[in-house]
């Protein structure tokens, strides 16, 4: 049996982020079941336009220069993009803003972090630079950090 780590609070937070971006992007975020290993298919007029994984953090985007994402999640996002031709994005909500990054790209792999979920001393991860994310400012304008 696979242990599920996603809580109702996590799902509520994801839905709140999706609601903000649905309005900003004039799109609909369709929640996916576990078979797809990502959170949403983003649609316009019923047609898929992108795959999305949503992460909510409890710190500001400026607290650290990078974000760690487990390699298996990166692989699923990249595989969906490859198989369908649709972009795959990681969307992160920090305490100060929401940003996103295209995940169908090469990424460096490191064995890092303590993996409390599986009782291991770490796992293969990718380290993503916050400066590579695109953000929305308070006026709804998109901008890059770099």
pLDDT tens per residue across span 99-125: 999 998 888 899 886 655 555 677 899
Q: In 3D, which of 15, 24, 36 has the Cα closest to residue 88?
A: 36
Give the pLDDT confidence of 27-86 residue by residue, as tens digits.
Answer: 999 999 999 999 999 999 999 999 999 999 999 999 999 999 999 999 999 999 999 999
Can you name the CATH fold of 8-144?
Answer: Trna Endonuclease; Chain: A, domain 1 (3.40.1350)
Is the pTM higher than 0.75? The answer reads: yes
Report domain extents, the chain: 8-144
What is the predicted pLDDT for the residue at 130?
95
133 and 103 in contact (C-beta within 8 Å)? no
Average pLDDT of span 6-19: 90
Kindly tell me the number of DSSP H helices and DSSP E strands found in the chain.
Answer: 2, 10
What is the predicted pLDDT for the residue at 3?
44
pLDDT at 26 over 70: yes
pLDDT at 93 over 50: yes
User: What is the rounded distance in angstroms from the CA atom of residue 88 to the CA atom of residue 26?
Assistant: 17
């Amino acid at each position: 049996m696979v242990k599920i780590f996603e809580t109702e609070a996590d799902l509520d937070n994801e839905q709140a982020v999706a609601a903000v971006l649905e309005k900003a992007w004039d799109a609909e975020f369709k929640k996916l079941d576990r078979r797809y290993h990502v959170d949403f298919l983003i649609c316009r007029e019923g047609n898929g336009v992108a795959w999305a994984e949503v992460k909510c953090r409890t710190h500001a985007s400026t607290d650290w220069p990078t974000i760690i994402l487990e390699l298996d999640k990166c692989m699923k996002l990249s595989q969906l993009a490859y198989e369908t031709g649709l972009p795959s994005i990681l969307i992160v909500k920090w305490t100060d803003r929401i940003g996103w990054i295209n995940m169908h790209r090469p990424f460096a792999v490191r064995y890092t972090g303590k993996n409390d979920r599986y009782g291991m001393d770490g796992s293969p991860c990718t380290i993503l630079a916050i400066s590579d994310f695109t953000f929305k400012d308070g006026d709804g304008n998109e901008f890059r950090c770099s």
